Chains A and B, each alone.
Chain A
Amino acid sequence: MNSASAELMSVTDAIPVKKAFNSEYVLEVRDVRKEFPGVVALDNVSLRIRPGTVHALMGENGAGKSTLMKIIAGIYQPDRGEVRLRGEKVWLPTPLAAQEAGIAMIHQELLLMNPMTVAENIWIRREPKNRFGLVDHVAMNRMTQELFDRLNIDLDPESEISELSVANRQMVEIAKAVSFNSDVLIMDEPTSAITEKEVEHLFQIIRDLRARGIGIVYITHKMNELFEIADEFSVFRDGQYIATCASSDVTRDDIIRMMVGRDITQMFPKEEVELGDVVLSVKNLTRDGVFRDVSFDVRAGEILGFAGLVGSGRSDVAEALFGVKPADSGTINVFGQDVKITNPHQAIKLGMAFLTEDRKETGCFLPLDIQENIQAAVLHDQYVDGAGFVAENVLEDRSIEICQRLRVKTPNMHERIENLSGGNQQKVLIGRWLLTNPKILILDEPTRGIDVGAKAEIHSLITQLAHEGVAVIMISSEMPEVLGMSDRVLVMHEGHVTGIVDRSEADQVTIMDLAAR
């Protein structure tokens, strides 16, 4: 990595250092207010970004960070207040206007066109033309290759986006944003879908851009990233601006207090739980070309963490266990009985539950309401009578209980799930599986992209479930989460299990070593 970064520094010399302008700040937001029907999303918010700094925005989901970023990126227009760029007031009616003014944004949801190539995605609307006015693909691919060389990204400019992993798509987004050569670069949770190794790579790129005088706005929920990469940060809460500080001046606890307006003493409320019998035993599970000879046991009350890089096969093992994409060979033993699981329905009947990795893609029924989302996995059994009628009244009571237990913020059960924040959506999806009374709970990235408050609640819920004797498999790319929550950590690398480490011996170094060997 080090030699690579040295190389990185030398090639990027080609990018000109940003020209001077008559202001201390490259970007300034003054007294902005933004209302949506029924809600004030931002009230009197200000933000100042110095050139050549990384400025983190912190706050729980719903604090107003994303709305503020969308105003800066020209997606929303403020009701009041102004945006100043390089000391001059600008009006940004469209994302295009913002781009042309020198503001680039990397969105949290990847906004790439899947059937098109990497190069086409990066240069869309700016395609190099040949003398007939047609798109010059050779030049376009060359420009992409140069960009990738500069950023030390190893991807083929001609591959289709749909062939790439989520992490690689994220790198394409980053390269695209960099290619605009902007003065301000906004990154909305760029690390939520990538692993530690790629995060390190991203940070190299960020440090380099910072050295070129670019002002970087960095939204994150991850505290350790803040201390590693950010120079300054601003905190928001409930649409209000709270404070701006240098990250060297504060502690983690200070920031959490500013964000939530209260103390959260226990981030990982792990409790020692008396372990029961082995409930799930997997031997030599193999899916050709994806993972091989995966073996492990989980006991009742145990939390087994799954660590490893994205693409190491962790999620694939979970999908095989749950019958989403069944394994080719190997045995699965549930409560002492060998079972064959070829579809999710069988897995549910065996007492298994699976919270999938991607909330939007494989989790939420976005057009449906909360109750309909919660009851989706129990329509096979006791809540349906012989004629097929659903006991909606009973299910509404059960949904209310679950929403209260999980503290879902909603007026009632008939709110559409698409109107909830990410953290609340995640709680509803967890609720869906709680309603099935699972004995074996598989959680794939249970706290990805949700705020600290909701995160702590989900962690304490997982602990409670373990207490109640549920066997939990928790896949996570967040090292503190894996280390903080797990009894044992199973580490995967390129489809193989490279080790199962006990809680007492697990630390960041051991696990990274097994994951990246």
Chain B
Amino acid sequence: MTMSTTGDRVEFTERKALTKTRKKMPPELSILLVLLGISVFFEVLGWMLVGQSFLANMSRLQIIILQVSVIGIIAVGVTQVIITGGIDLSSGSVVAMSAMIAATFAQNSEWPKLIHPGLTDLPFIVPLLVGVGIGALAGFINGWLITKTKIPPFIATLGMMVSARGIARWYTDGSPVSGFTEGFAMLGNGLDRWMPVVIFLAVAAFFHVVMRYTRFGKFTYAIGANPQAARVSGINIDAHLIKVYTIAGLLAGLAAMVAIARIKTAQAGMGMMYELDAIAAAVIGGVSLSGGRGRITGTVIGALILGVMLSGFTFLRIDAYYQDIIKGGIIVVAVVVDQHRQNKRKKS
């Protein structure tokens, strides 16, 4: 490039034209390869140790993806929270709280009812809205605490985690709630048992579009990347964070509805450690805990990796204790690999 000074303005000749380019290879590709690798790994071990195929078994694949769906729905919300630079530890307890309260509106007339003895066969939309609404309210409180009292997200959602679990236990005095209407049970078993997967994929697709192509998503990334710069750019950070935490709570509530409709009962102890599985799915999927980086598609693949691993270990008849030990290791390795990749990119 050469430069000449013409008059008083610096002008440049021979400028290399900047052209439009497609974004580079999506970072999910490498995670997808990991998913494939793990699947092949179990397939090979399956033939060697158990004498059957891991993948060529439709009912196993269905169970994997059904199990992934509940965590996956939660993880879509948690991913957004993590991209803002925050964390949500309350999802598992919010699942239990939403489940217990909503379940009492979902019972059919033949069942003895503890909380609302007079209610009979409400349409499924009522318990669904109650459950989703309770979740959204919990998320709203999280967001409000974080933005208005300026306490760290870790603490605010830790408080919600403990309190929501308490509410879940207190609401029915610890007894489980069962006997749902057929309409409500469809949420877990409809469309010939694929309903949870359909809901999960619809939620993931919707928020993928929101995160990639809308102002809402751009604000989420901007706040996570640099909150101060986001503020100077005219973004109302408090209002936006409240929305993001509310969405995370709402999705936990939705996940709770799918879960109880599928297993046909709600218990105060359900959803234990779901928050950590959701966070793990996001992190394995390349979402950075420091904020500003990550995608919904990555989280979906991350959740699938967790599901395949769980199923694979069971398939190989590996003891549950070992499963947790190995799972913990894999989460750590995923973050180490991701950081290494980022450092390399920074230096080049």
Contacts and interface: CB of A to CB of B under 8 A. Distances in A.
A396 B10 contact: no
A365 B5 contact: no
B229 A389 contact: no
A365 B348 contact: no
B15 A404 contact: yes
Interface in B331-348: 344-348
B327 interface: no
A390 B229 contact: no
B129 to A, nearest CB: 24
A36 interface: yes
A413 B12 contact: no
Nearest to B347: A36
Interface string A380-391: 100010011110
B231 A412 contact: no
A290 interface: no
Contact of A412 (B9, B21, B293): B21
A82 B79 CA distance: 48
B218 A390 contact: yes
B233 A376 contact: yes
B226 A414 contact: no
B214 interface: yes
Given A345-B236, A367-B225, A400 B292 contact: no
B24 interface: yes
Contacts of B18: 400, 403-404, 410-413
Contacts of A375: 218
B234 A380 contact: yes
Counting chain A CB atoms within 10 Å of each CB, the highest count among B5, B23, B216, B226 belongs to B226
B219 A392 contact: no
A392 B5 CA distance: 35
A457 B10 contact: yes
A460 B234 contact: no
A414 B25 CA distance: 11
A36 B348 contact: yes
A376 B230 contact: yes
A420 to B, nearest CB: 12
A445 interface: no
B288 interface: yes
A397 B228 CA distance: 27
Contact of A368 (B2, B3, B5, B225): B225
Interface in A18-72: 36-39
A468 B213 CA distance: 33
A376 B222 contact: yes
A461 B278 CA distance: 48
Contacts of A379: 215, 218-219, 235
Interface string A446-465: 00000000001100100010
Contacts of B228: 361-362
Given A376-B222, A403-B18, A343 B236 contact: yes
A410 B347 CA distance: 16
Interface in B290-348: 291-293, 344-348
Interface string A333-362: 000000000011101100000101000011
Given A390-B215, A390-B218, A403-B18, A367 B229 contact: no
Interface residues of A, number: 59
Contacts of A412: 18-21
B192 interface: no
A252 interface: no
B8 A372 contact: no
A206 interface: no
A365 B232 contact: no
A80 interface: no
B221 interface: yes
B58 to A, nearest CB: 38
B229 A266 contact: no
Interface stretch (A108-116, A186-194, A257-265): A257-265
A390 B20 contact: no
Interface string B28-39: 000000000000
A344 B293 contact: no
Contacts of A354: 232
A271 B8 contact: yes
A387 B23 CA distance: 24
28 contacts: A36-B347, A264-B10, A266-B5, A266-B8, A324-B231, A344-B232, A344-B233, A344-B234, A362-B226, A362-B228, A362-B229, A365-B226, A366-B225, A366-B226, A367-B225, A367-B288, A368-B221, A368-B222, A368-B292, A376-B233, A379-B219, A380-B215, A388-B214, A390-B213, A400-B18, A400-B19, A407-B12, A419-B348
Interface of A: 36-39, 262-266, 269, 271, 322, 324, 343-345, 347-348, 354, 356, 361-368, 372, 375-377, 379-380, 384, 387-390, 392, 396-397, 400, 403-404, 407, 410-414, 416, 418-419, 432, 456-457, 460, 464
Given A356-B229, A407-B12, A414-B23, 4 more contacts: A368-B292, A389-B213, A389-B215, A460-B10
